[in-house]
Amino acid sequence: MVAAIGGRSAVPGAYWAWLGGTALSLVGVQAMAFAMTWVAAGHGGRFAAVVLTAINLPRALLLLVGGAVADRVGAWRVMVVSDAVMVAVTVALAAAAWSSTDPRLPLLLAAVAIGVVDAFYLPSTGSMPRRLVPPDALARAMSARQLAGQLALLAGPSLGGLLLAGAGLAGAALTNAVTCLVMLSILLALRSRAGRSAQPRAADRRARAAPEPPMDPAQSLWRACLDGVRVVSSHGALRPALLLTGVAAGFLLPVSSLLVPLLARERVWSPQVTGAVVAAVALGTATAAVTVLARGALPRAGRAAATGLLVAAAGVAALAAGGSPKSAVAAGVAVGAGSGLFGTHIGPLILAAAPVTHLARVQSVLVLVQSLPLLLTTSLLGSLAEAARVSTVLHGCAGVLAVAGLVALTSPALRR
């Protein structure tokens, strides 16, 4: 049974401290990511793509391992070690950028290291709201986290541009090292308090206490990796929730990042108008997150998430049908509001439904479910937009999202 997640219980102070450090760290990460991409692009589009692949490929390959290790040795330990490694990596990148005239090899090595660290860090940090927050405050806590992520996405690239202009890649890398060091200090300060603040349910305590049969360490880790997939695929609520998340990742996320710029080119809109439409999507998402943060989540998270997907589908269809910039901005707000309603309810539902023994592993599967469809559909939708009108592709995305939302409303597990 999934714990209630729609209440308005107070979010503990330890969570706010962790979230503050996380938000600061995200700003540093986004700033350095922008700087790395900019420097790599100066050596050609092919090399820039290689750098991005050097991050994404090890991340995707090791995510399940990262989740299994976090559940085995503890999320706190994994995050502490990961932040410490990131401080070393970013300082080394800064030193290499200062001393070398050709940054390509340092960029590639840093990209691989970032991808490996992300594979272990993301499942652990994704499980932290469940570890720090009571179940009926999860929605508010995760809405605050989503809002912090949106703000980091807005502030990080701008900071990266300023750092590049003033101190180059080395300055951006050192700034990220400082934010990782701050996050590391917060984790160390909160680690002892986390055990006292956690109040697991009786079923959680029994699950933690259940002994595992002895086996070969390599075989044990491999089975632990696959066990996360098994739990998700066999769980009545996790399976449809993650399938719905995959559809949203594949057909909703590319709307603002890929299809809106292509639509603007097709309709001869200015860069300012295009930016306003993208900003409208972000505004709608942030508004939904702020609303849930202030008022709490809706009582039935699965139904609310499905409704959010339907609202987003209507916004995407309106974006395809409308011809004027004003109508596109209004449609962008609807897309963002639906996306925000979906995200602020499906995330807490997945985290609340995950067994306490598999928190990080479920998060690793969640990141994979978000990443793989996005990689596939971005290329597919881009190719379709070249062969047909962009508005036709947007209508297709709206249709897929609407069907997924309607099917989700018929799922007994999600309705309950």
State the residue range of the domain holding 298.
228-415
Asked, for residue 212, whether it belongs to a domain, the answer is no
Asked, for residue 273, whether it belongs to a domain, the answer is yes
User: Are 129 and 237 contained in the same domain?
Assistant: no
213 backbone dihedrals φ, ψ, rounded to 5°: -65, 145
Average pLDDT over residues 350-355: 85
Asked, for residue 220, whether it belongs to a domain, the answer is no
Q: Answer yes or no: are the C-beta atoms of 223 and 359 closer than 8 Å.
A: no
- Which residue is it, tokens 């090399």? 47
Asked, for residue 5, whether it belongs to a domain, the answer is no
User: Are 185 and 236 contained in the same domain?
Assistant: no
Closest CA to 252 of 303, 298, 319, 156: 319
Asked, for residue 45, whether it belongs to a domain, the answer is yes
Q: Which two tokens stand for residue 151?
A: 């703000």
Q: Answer yes or no: are the C-beta atoms of 108 and 54 closer than 8 Å.
A: yes
What pLDDT score was predicted for residue 191?
A: 77
Q: What is the pTM of this model?
A: 0.73
Give CA–CA dist 102/64, Å, rounded: 35
**For residue 105, which amino acid is it?**
L
CATH code at position 54: 1.20.1250.20
Asked, for residue 125, whether it belongs to a domain, the answer is yes
User: Are 234 and 188 contained in the same domain?
Assistant: no
- Number of Cβ within a 10 Å radius of residue 45: 9
User: Are 385 and 262 contained in the same domain?
Assistant: yes
User: Are 148 and 109 contained in the same domain?
Assistant: yes
Asked, for residue 98, whether it belongs to a domain, the answer is yes
Does residue 41 surpass a pLDDT of 80?
no
User: Are 258 and 400 contained in the same domain?
Assistant: yes
Where is average pLDDT lowest: 18-22, 174-178, 313-317, 362-366?
362-366
Asked, for residue 114, whether it belongs to a domain, the answer is yes
DSSP strand E in 218-322: where?
Answer: none
What pLDDT score was predicted for residue 192?
A: 62
User: Are 141 and 188 contained in the same domain?
Assistant: yes
Taking all residues of the chain, what is their mean pLDDT, rounded to a whole number? 84
What pLDDT score was predicted for residue 224?
A: 79
User: Are 251 and 171 contained in the same domain?
Assistant: no
User: Are 258 and 174 contained in the same domain?
Assistant: no
What pLDDT score was predicted for residue 99?
A: 86
- Tally of domains within the chain: 2
User: Are 188 and 234 contained in the same domain?
Assistant: no
User: Are 296 and 385 contained in the same domain?
Assistant: yes
**For residue 94, which amino acid is it?**
A
70, 190, 228 from 224: Cα distances, Å: 11, 27, 7
Give CA–CA dist 223/244, Å, rounded: 26
Q: What is the pLDDT of residues 224-262, one digit of tens each?
A: 778 778 888 888 788 889 999 999 988 998 888 778 888
What pLDDT score was predicted for residue 85?
A: 96
User: Are 189 and 334 contained in the same domain?
Assistant: no
